[in-house]
Protein backbone atom coordinates (compact mmCIF):
# COMPACT_ATOMS: atom_id res chain seq x y z
CA UNK A 1 0.00 0.00 0.00
CA UNK A 2 1.40 3.41 -1.01
CA UNK A 3 0.86 5.67 1.99
CA UNK A 4 1.80 8.70 -0.08
CA UNK A 5 -1.02 7.98 -2.52
CA UNK A 6 -3.46 7.55 0.36
CA UNK A 7 -2.38 10.88 1.80
CA UNK A 8 -2.75 12.49 -1.61
CA UNK A 9 -6.26 11.05 -1.96
CA UNK A 10 -7.19 12.49 1.43
CA UNK A 11 -5.94 15.91 0.34
CA UNK A 12 -7.83 15.59 -2.96
CA UNK A 13 -11.26 14.95 -1.42
CA UNK A 14 -10.91 17.96 0.88
CA UNK A 15 -11.20 20.35 -2.11
CA UNK A 16 -9.91 23.41 -0.23
CA UNK A 17 -6.80 21.55 0.88
CA UNK A 18 -6.32 20.20 -2.62
CA UNK A 19 -6.91 23.32 -4.70
CA UNK A 20 -5.19 25.84 -2.41
CA UNK A 21 -1.51 26.46 -1.82
CA UNK A 22 -1.63 23.83 0.91
CA UNK A 23 -2.18 21.06 -1.63
CA UNK A 24 0.77 21.80 -3.85
CA UNK A 25 3.13 22.31 -0.91
CA UNK A 26 2.15 18.98 0.65
CA UNK A 27 2.38 17.08 -2.64
CA UNK A 28 5.76 18.57 -3.46
CA UNK A 29 7.06 17.18 -0.18
CA UNK A 30 5.17 13.89 -0.33
CA UNK A 31 6.46 12.91 -3.76
CA UNK A 32 9.83 14.63 -3.72
CA UNK A 33 9.25 16.54 -6.93
CA UNK A 34 12.20 17.02 -9.21
CA UNK A 35 12.60 19.68 -11.87
CA UNK A 36 13.89 19.46 -15.45
CA UNK A 37 17.39 20.57 -16.41
CA UNK A 38 17.78 24.08 -17.74
CA UNK A 39 18.11 22.84 -21.34
CA UNK A 40 15.17 20.39 -21.21
CA UNK A 41 13.39 22.11 -24.11
CA UNK A 42 16.37 23.33 -26.11
CA UNK A 43 15.65 22.88 -29.81
CA UNK A 44 11.94 22.36 -29.19
CA UNK A 45 9.03 24.60 -30.08
CA UNK A 46 6.09 25.32 -27.78
CA UNK A 47 2.95 27.29 -28.62
CA UNK A 48 1.04 29.06 -25.84
CA UNK A 49 -2.30 30.80 -26.29
CA UNK A 50 -3.02 33.61 -23.84
CA UNK A 51 0.64 34.01 -22.79
CA UNK A 52 0.58 37.60 -21.52
CA UNK A 53 -1.17 37.18 -18.18
CA UNK A 54 -1.78 34.81 -15.29
CA UNK A 55 -1.13 31.12 -15.84
CA UNK A 56 -0.18 31.61 -19.48
CA UNK A 57 2.50 34.12 -18.58
CA UNK A 58 3.85 31.92 -15.78
CA UNK A 59 3.95 28.88 -18.06
CA UNK A 60 5.63 30.88 -20.82
CA UNK A 61 8.31 32.09 -18.45
CA UNK A 62 8.92 28.57 -17.17
CA UNK A 63 9.13 27.07 -20.66
CA UNK A 64 11.38 29.84 -21.94
CA UNK A 65 13.75 29.23 -19.02
CA UNK A 66 14.10 25.62 -20.20
CA UNK A 67 15.33 26.71 -23.62
CA UNK A 68 12.11 26.44 -25.63
CA UNK A 69 11.25 28.44 -28.69
CA UNK A 70 7.87 29.79 -27.54
CA UNK A 71 5.28 30.94 -30.06
CA UNK A 72 3.25 33.67 -28.37
CA UNK A 73 -0.36 33.59 -29.59
CA UNK A 74 -2.72 36.38 -28.55
CA UNK A 75 -4.83 39.24 -29.79
CA UNK A 76 -2.93 42.27 -28.43
CA UNK A 77 0.17 43.07 -30.44
CA UNK A 78 1.22 45.61 -27.81
CA UNK A 79 1.07 43.12 -24.93
CA UNK A 80 2.71 40.35 -26.95
CA UNK A 81 5.54 42.66 -27.98
CA UNK A 82 6.10 43.75 -24.39
CA UNK A 83 6.27 40.09 -23.32
CA UNK A 84 8.66 39.20 -26.13
CA UNK A 85 10.93 42.11 -25.20
CA UNK A 86 10.91 40.97 -21.57
CA UNK A 87 11.82 37.40 -22.57
CA UNK A 88 14.52 38.62 -24.94
CA UNK A 89 16.07 40.71 -22.16
CA UNK A 90 15.99 37.71 -19.81
CA UNK A 91 17.41 35.13 -22.21
CA UNK A 92 19.44 37.12 -24.74
CA UNK A 93 18.09 35.25 -27.76
CA UNK A 94 14.98 36.11 -29.76
CA UNK A 95 13.20 32.75 -29.88
CA UNK A 96 9.77 34.15 -29.13
CA UNK A 97 7.79 34.77 -32.33
CA UNK A 98 4.48 36.59 -32.10
CA UNK A 99 1.36 35.33 -33.84
CA UNK A 100 -1.71 37.54 -33.64
CA UNK A 101 -4.98 35.64 -33.19
CA UNK A 102 -8.34 36.58 -31.73
CA UNK A 103 -9.61 33.33 -30.21
CA UNK A 104 -13.15 34.66 -30.58
CA UNK A 105 -12.85 34.60 -34.37
CA UNK A 106 -12.45 31.42 -36.38
CA UNK A 107 -11.20 33.41 -39.36
CA UNK A 108 -8.46 34.92 -37.21
CA UNK A 109 -7.50 31.51 -35.81
CA UNK A 110 -7.32 29.98 -39.29
CA UNK A 111 -5.05 32.81 -40.42
CA UNK A 112 -2.81 32.12 -37.43
CA UNK A 113 -2.69 28.42 -38.32
CA UNK A 114 -1.67 29.27 -41.87
CA UNK A 115 1.15 31.51 -40.66
CA UNK A 116 2.45 28.91 -38.21
CA UNK A 117 2.42 26.19 -40.86
CA UNK A 118 4.37 28.48 -43.18
CA UNK A 119 7.02 29.48 -40.65
CA UNK A 120 7.47 26.59 -38.21
CA UNK A 121 9.10 23.28 -39.19
CA UNK A 122 8.08 21.56 -35.94
CA UNK A 123 5.69 21.88 -33.00
CA UNK A 124 6.56 19.89 -29.89
CA UNK A 125 3.96 21.23 -27.47
CA UNK A 126 0.67 23.08 -27.93
CA UNK A 127 -0.76 24.67 -24.79
CA UNK A 128 -4.42 25.70 -24.99
CA UNK A 129 -4.63 28.28 -22.24
CA UNK A 130 -6.54 31.35 -23.47
CA UNK A 131 -9.86 31.98 -21.78
CA UNK A 132 -12.43 34.59 -20.85
CA UNK A 133 -15.60 34.93 -18.79
CA UNK A 134 -18.46 37.00 -20.19
CA UNK A 135 -21.01 38.45 -17.74
CA UNK A 136 -23.62 38.62 -20.50
CA UNK A 137 -24.38 36.43 -23.46
CA UNK A 138 -22.72 37.73 -26.59
CA UNK A 139 -21.96 36.21 -29.96
CA UNK A 140 -18.69 36.45 -31.82
CA UNK A 141 -18.25 37.19 -35.53
CA UNK A 142 -19.07 33.58 -36.40
CA UNK A 143 -22.42 33.71 -34.61
CA UNK A 144 -21.18 31.43 -31.80
CA UNK A 145 -21.75 32.28 -28.14
CA UNK A 146 -18.50 33.95 -27.08
CA UNK A 147 -17.54 31.72 -24.13
CA UNK A 148 -18.01 28.55 -26.15
CA UNK A 149 -16.15 30.09 -29.10
CA UNK A 150 -13.08 31.14 -27.10
CA UNK A 151 -12.80 28.10 -24.83
CA UNK A 152 -13.93 25.33 -27.15
CA UNK A 153 -14.50 26.00 -30.85
CA UNK A 154 -11.50 28.21 -31.62
CA UNK A 155 -9.02 25.93 -29.78
CA UNK A 156 -10.55 23.00 -31.69
CA UNK A 157 -9.92 24.82 -34.99
CA UNK A 158 -6.38 25.71 -33.89
CA UNK A 159 -5.56 22.13 -32.93
CA UNK A 160 -7.22 20.69 -36.02
CA UNK A 161 -5.20 22.97 -38.28
CA UNK A 162 -1.91 22.26 -36.52
CA UNK A 163 -2.48 18.52 -36.15
CA UNK A 164 -0.34 17.62 -39.22
CA UNK A 165 2.59 19.61 -37.79
CA UNK A 166 2.18 17.97 -34.39
CA UNK A 167 1.99 14.53 -36.01
CA UNK A 168 5.20 15.16 -37.94
CA UNK A 169 7.04 16.15 -34.73
CA UNK A 170 8.11 13.08 -32.73
CA UNK A 171 6.91 13.02 -29.14
CA UNK A 172 4.59 16.02 -29.47
CA UNK A 173 2.16 16.89 -26.69
CA UNK A 174 -1.09 18.86 -26.41
CA UNK A 175 -2.02 20.35 -23.02
CA UNK A 176 -5.40 21.94 -22.30
CA UNK A 177 -5.64 24.23 -19.28
CA UNK A 178 -9.02 23.75 -17.67
CA UNK A 179 -10.61 24.79 -14.36
CA UNK A 180 -11.68 22.91 -11.27
CA UNK A 181 -15.00 24.69 -11.69
CA UNK A 182 -15.80 22.35 -14.56
CA UNK A 183 -16.53 19.63 -11.99
CA UNK A 184 -19.67 21.50 -10.95
CA UNK A 185 -21.43 21.54 -14.31
CA UNK A 186 -22.79 19.28 -16.99
CA UNK A 187 -23.21 20.95 -20.39
CA UNK A 188 -26.65 21.13 -21.89
CA UNK A 189 -26.11 18.90 -24.92
CA UNK A 190 -29.21 20.31 -26.57
CA UNK A 191 -28.19 23.94 -26.05
CA UNK A 192 -24.45 24.49 -25.89
CA UNK A 193 -24.94 28.15 -26.79
CA UNK A 194 -27.41 29.15 -24.06
CA UNK A 195 -30.29 30.11 -26.32
CA UNK A 196 -33.07 28.59 -24.20
CA UNK A 197 -32.13 29.41 -20.58
CA UNK A 198 -31.01 32.55 -18.74
CA UNK A 199 -27.32 33.12 -19.31
CA UNK A 200 -24.93 32.81 -16.37
CA UNK A 201 -21.34 33.74 -17.14
CA UNK A 202 -19.68 31.57 -14.52
CA UNK A 203 -21.81 28.54 -15.34
CA UNK A 204 -21.19 29.08 -19.05
CA UNK A 205 -17.45 29.15 -18.36
CA UNK A 206 -17.60 25.96 -16.27
CA UNK A 207 -19.71 24.17 -18.87
CA UNK A 208 -17.36 25.18 -21.67
CA UNK A 209 -14.42 23.88 -19.65
CA UNK A 210 -16.34 20.64 -19.16
CA UNK A 211 -16.74 20.36 -22.93
CA UNK A 212 -13.03 21.14 -23.38
CA UNK A 213 -12.04 18.21 -21.16
CA UNK A 214 -14.50 15.90 -22.91
CA UNK A 215 -12.85 16.80 -26.23
CA UNK A 216 -9.40 16.08 -24.80
CA UNK A 217 -10.59 12.54 -24.10
CA UNK A 218 -11.99 12.26 -27.62
CA UNK A 219 -8.78 13.54 -29.21
CA UNK A 220 -6.84 10.90 -27.27
CA UNK A 221 -9.23 8.18 -28.43
CA UNK A 222 -9.36 9.28 -32.04
CA UNK A 223 -5.64 10.02 -32.53
CA UNK A 224 -3.92 7.10 -30.79
CA UNK A 225 -0.49 5.57 -31.19
CA UNK A 226 2.21 7.68 -32.80
CA UNK A 227 0.17 10.88 -32.82
CA UNK A 228 0.57 13.61 -30.18
CA UNK A 229 -0.58 12.94 -26.64
CA UNK A 230 -3.58 14.91 -25.36
CA UNK A 231 -4.01 15.77 -21.69
CA UNK A 232 -5.79 18.36 -19.58
CA UNK A 233 -4.74 19.94 -16.32
CA UNK A 234 -6.32 22.27 -13.84
CA UNK A 235 -4.21 24.60 -11.74
CA UNK A 236 -6.16 24.65 -8.50
CA UNK A 237 -6.87 28.12 -7.12
CA UNK A 238 -4.14 30.46 -8.34
CA UNK A 239 -3.71 34.17 -7.75
CA UNK A 240 -4.29 35.55 -11.24
CA UNK A 241 -5.90 38.70 -12.65
CA UNK A 242 -8.64 36.55 -14.18
CA UNK A 243 -9.68 35.15 -10.80
CA UNK A 244 -9.60 38.57 -9.15
CA UNK A 245 -11.79 40.07 -11.88
CA UNK A 246 -14.29 37.24 -12.28
CA UNK A 247 -14.76 36.22 -8.63
CA UNK A 248 -13.79 39.23 -6.49
CA UNK A 249 -15.55 37.99 -3.35
CA UNK A 250 -13.95 34.55 -3.55
CA UNK A 251 -10.61 36.16 -4.34
CA UNK A 252 -10.70 38.39 -1.25
CA UNK A 253 -11.74 35.50 1.00
CA UNK A 254 -9.22 32.96 -0.29
CA UNK A 255 -6.30 35.19 -1.19
CA UNK A 256 -4.17 34.14 1.81
CA UNK A 257 -4.15 30.52 0.60
CA UNK A 258 -4.14 31.02 -3.16
CA UNK A 259 -1.31 29.52 -5.15
CA UNK A 260 1.05 31.74 -7.05
CA UNK A 261 0.61 31.75 -10.82
CA UNK A 262 3.88 29.82 -11.11
CA UNK A 263 2.56 27.14 -8.73
CA UNK A 264 -0.65 26.94 -10.74
CA UNK A 265 1.38 26.54 -13.94
CA UNK A 266 3.75 23.91 -12.52
CA UNK A 267 1.81 20.96 -13.95
CA UNK A 268 1.73 22.62 -17.39
CA UNK A 269 5.52 22.75 -17.47
CA UNK A 270 5.76 19.22 -16.05
CA UNK A 271 3.39 17.82 -18.70
CA UNK A 272 5.43 19.58 -21.38
CA UNK A 273 8.75 18.14 -20.24
CA UNK A 274 8.63 15.06 -18.04
CA UNK A 275 9.59 11.74 -19.64
CA UNK A 276 7.16 9.83 -17.41
CA UNK A 277 4.17 11.28 -19.27
CA UNK A 278 5.63 11.08 -22.77
CA UNK A 279 3.15 8.38 -23.76
CA UNK A 280 0.28 9.20 -21.37
CA UNK A 281 -2.84 10.48 -23.13
CA UNK A 282 -6.46 11.25 -22.34
CA UNK A 283 -5.94 12.16 -18.68
CA UNK A 284 -6.78 15.07 -16.37
CA UNK A 285 -4.01 16.20 -14.00
CA UNK A 286 -3.68 18.32 -10.89
CA UNK A 287 -0.32 18.70 -9.18
CA UNK A 288 1.41 16.16 -11.45
CA UNK A 289 -1.04 13.33 -10.72
CA UNK A 290 -4.04 12.06 -12.71
CA UNK A 291 -7.42 12.96 -11.24
CA UNK A 292 -10.99 11.78 -11.80
CA UNK A 293 -13.01 13.42 -14.55
CA UNK A 294 -16.16 13.48 -12.41
CA UNK A 295 -16.89 14.48 -8.84
CA UNK A 296 -20.61 15.23 -8.63
CA UNK A 297 -23.36 12.73 -9.49
CA UNK A 298 -25.34 13.88 -12.49
CA UNK A 299 -22.48 15.68 -14.22
CA UNK A 300 -20.88 12.59 -15.76
CA UNK A 301 -20.57 12.49 -19.53
CA UNK A 302 -20.85 9.10 -21.20
CA UNK A 303 -18.84 7.98 -24.22
CA UNK A 304 -21.92 8.67 -26.35
CA UNK A 305 -22.19 12.17 -24.85
CA UNK A 306 -18.57 12.89 -25.73
CA UNK A 307 -19.11 11.74 -29.30
CA UNK A 308 -22.15 13.97 -29.54
CA UNK A 309 -20.17 16.95 -28.23
CA UNK A 310 -17.41 16.25 -30.75
CA UNK A 311 -19.89 16.23 -33.63
CA UNK A 312 -21.49 19.45 -32.37
CA UNK A 313 -18.14 21.23 -32.22
CA UNK A 314 -17.14 19.96 -35.66
CA UNK A 315 -20.38 21.43 -37.00
CA UNK A 316 -19.73 24.79 -35.29
CA UNK A 317 -16.17 24.82 -36.63
CA UNK A 318 -17.53 24.52 -40.15
CA UNK A 319 -14.78 22.26 -41.45
CA UNK A 320 -14.31 18.54 -42.12
CA UNK A 321 -13.91 16.29 -39.12
CA UNK A 322 -10.14 16.24 -38.35
CA UNK A 323 -10.32 12.86 -36.62
CA UNK A 324 -13.36 10.73 -37.45
CA UNK A 325 -14.22 8.16 -34.84
CA UNK A 326 -12.35 4.85 -35.22
CA UNK A 327 -14.39 2.08 -36.79
309 domain-assigned: yes
Give me the pLDDT at residue 46, please.
Answer: 98
pLDDT surpassing 90 at residue 230: yes
Helix intervals (H) in the chain:
3-13, 16-19, 21-31, 54-65, 77-91, 106-119, 146-148, 154-167, 201-222, 241-246, 248-254, 261-273, 303-317
Rounded to 5 degrees, φ, ψ at 132 are -160, 150
Tally of structural domains, the chain? 1
Q: What is the mean pLDDT of residues 282-297?
A: 95
53 domain-assigned: yes
Give residue 106's Cα distance to chain centre.
Answer: 18
**Could you report the per-residue pLDDT of 133-160, keeping only the tens digit for each?**
989 999 999 999 999 999 999 999 999 9
Give me the pLDDT at residue 245, please.
Answer: 86
**Could you report the per-residue pLDDT of 40-63, keeping only the tens digit for each?**
999 999 999 999 999 999 999 999
Helix (H) and strand (E) counts in the chain? 13, 8
**Could you report the per-residue pLDDT of 183-213, keeping only the tens digit for each?**
999 999 999 999 999 999 999 999 999 999 9
327 domain-assigned: no
pTM of the predicted structure, to 2 decimals? 0.96
184 domain-assigned: yes
Q: What is the mean pLDDT of residues 117-137?
A: 95
pLDDT surpassing 70 at residue 327: no
Of the candidates 144, 147, 224, 188, the residue with the CA atom closest to the CA atom of residue 309: 188
pLDDT surpassing 90 at residue 242: no
pLDDT surpassing 90 at residue 1: no
24 domain-assigned: no
Give me the pLDDT at residue 185, please.
Answer: 93
The mean-pLDDT minimum among 37-41, 87-91, 153-157, 322-326 falls in 322-326
Given phi > 0 = left and psi -120 to 50 = alpha, else beta, which region is 50? left
- Catalytic residue (choose from 35, 183, 205, 251): 205
Give me the pLDDT at residue 177, please.
Answer: 98
**Could you report the per-residue pLDDT of 102-115, keeping only the tens digit for each?**
999 999 999 999 99
4 domain-assigned: no
Q: What is the mean pLDDT of residues 114-137?
A: 96
Question: How confident is residue 2, by pLDDT bands cut at 50, 70 and 90?
Answer: confident
Question: How confident is residue 225, by pLDDT bands cut at 50, 70 and 90?
Answer: confident
Give me the pLDDT at residue 197, please.
Answer: 93
300 domain-assigned: yes
| Cross-strand bridge partners of residue 177 | 233
pLDDT surpassing 80 at residue 277: yes
183 is catalytic: no
Q: What is the mean pLDDT of residues 209-229?
A: 94
Structural domain boundaries, residue 125: 34-317
Return the CATH number at 156: 3.40.50.720
78 domain-assigned: yes
pLDDT surpassing 60 at residue 299: yes
Amino acid sequence: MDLRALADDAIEVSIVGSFSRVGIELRRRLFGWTYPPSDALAGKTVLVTGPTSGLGRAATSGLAALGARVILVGRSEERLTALRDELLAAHGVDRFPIVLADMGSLTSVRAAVARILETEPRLDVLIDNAGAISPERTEGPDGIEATLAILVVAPFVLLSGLLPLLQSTPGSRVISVTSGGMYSQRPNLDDLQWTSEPFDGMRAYARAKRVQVALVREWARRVPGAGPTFNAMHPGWADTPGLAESLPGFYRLMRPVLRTAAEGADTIVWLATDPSVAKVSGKLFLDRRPRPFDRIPGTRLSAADRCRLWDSVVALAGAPDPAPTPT
